[in-house]
Chains A and B, each alone.
Chain A
Amino acid sequence: MNYVEVLIYVFLGISVTFNLLGSFALLRFPDVYTRLHGATKCTTFGTIFAVFAVVTHALYQLHRTGDSKYLQMALHSFIALIALLLTNPTGAHAIAKAAHLSGVKPVRAVVDAYEEKLGGGSE
């Protein structure tokens, strides 16, 4: 086992750990906003490292065999990573705003600045 395979195993371990932690956060947190926080951050971080593992594997195979399909695999998984990094925080922001506007309040919150801003605008 050489250094590149050790690097791939480390990336896969980080990826699986953070994906499992994100989905456990979805079960254990008390309301929508904390669940969104835990699940979105952890699964985005885990998917970044899954793509890093695939890119490392593809570049290593390209260096070893010289087959151009591995270059295609590395580039396309990098494009998938960029699409995910652009769309995931935007979707989470839209879900949080829609949850607040549809009447779901944060559990045990002391300060709700968005509610104060909305109330101050109308009164």
Chain B
Amino acid sequence: MAFFYAMVLVGIAGLISVLRLILGPTVPDRVVGVDTLNTLVVAGMVLLGAAYDRTIYIDIAIVYALLSYIGTLVIAKYLQGGLA
């Protein structure tokens, strides 16, 4: 049960980073918010997989980590002006 409560607190931290995503004055601020949210979602998936005894959640966390990294790199390349 401790894993489930820890996952709820990590979800609250994720909601705070969504707040930065909504407020952020510039575009890189919003990208930082999305990057933090991705890391917190991976932590929450691993904790939820331990709470419910399902290994498949942890497998999906691996795929989510790699794909969100590619998304962050593509947005950063777009911001700095093309594939230079």
A interface, CB within 8 angstroms of B: 8-9, 12, 15-16, 19-20, 22-24, 26-27, 32, 35-36, 39-40, 43-44, 46-47, 50-51, 53-54, 57-58, 69, 72-73, 76-77, 79-80, 83-84, 87-88, 90-92, 94-95, 97-99, 101-102, 104
Q: Is the CB of A35 within 8 A of B72?
A: no
Option from A35, A46, A73, A98 in Cβ contact (under 8 Å) with B50:
A73
Contact code string B45-84 (vs A, CB < 8 Å = 1, else 0) = 0110110010100110110011001001101110111000
Q: Is the CB of B36 within 8 A of A26?
A: yes
Total A-B Cβ pairs within 8 A: 163
B interface residue count range (under 10 / 10 to 19 / 20 to 34 / 35 or more): 35 or more
Q: Is the CB of B73 within 8 A of A26?
A: no
Option from A9, A46, A101 in Cβ contact (under 8 Å) with B79:
A101
Q: Is the CB of B76 within 8 A of A98?
A: yes
User: Whole-angstrom distance from the CB of B17 to the nearest CB of chain A?
Assistant: 5
Option from B32, B35, B36, B50 in Cβ contact (under 8 Å) with A57:
B50
Residue of B nearest to A69 (CB): B55
Q: Is the CB of A27 within 8 A of B58?
A: no
Q: Is the CB of A104 within 8 A of B28?
A: yes
Q: Is the CB of A26 within 8 A of B20?
A: yes
Option from A19, A77, A99 in Cβ contact (under 8 Å) with B58:
A77
User: Whole-angstrom distance from the CB of B83 to the nearest CB of chain A?
Assistant: 12
Q: Is the CB of A19 within 8 A of B40?
A: yes
How many angstroms between the C-alpha atoms of A18 and B63 in the bound complex?
24
- Given A54-B46, A98-B28, A104-B28: A19 and B72 within 8 A (CB)? no
Chain A neighbourhood of B47, CB < 8 A: 50, 53-54
Chain B neighbourhood of A26, CB < 8 A: 16-17, 20, 32-33, 36
Chain B neighbourhood of A87, CB < 8 A: 65-66, 69
How many angstroms between the C-alpha atoms of A55 and B22 in the bound complex?
35
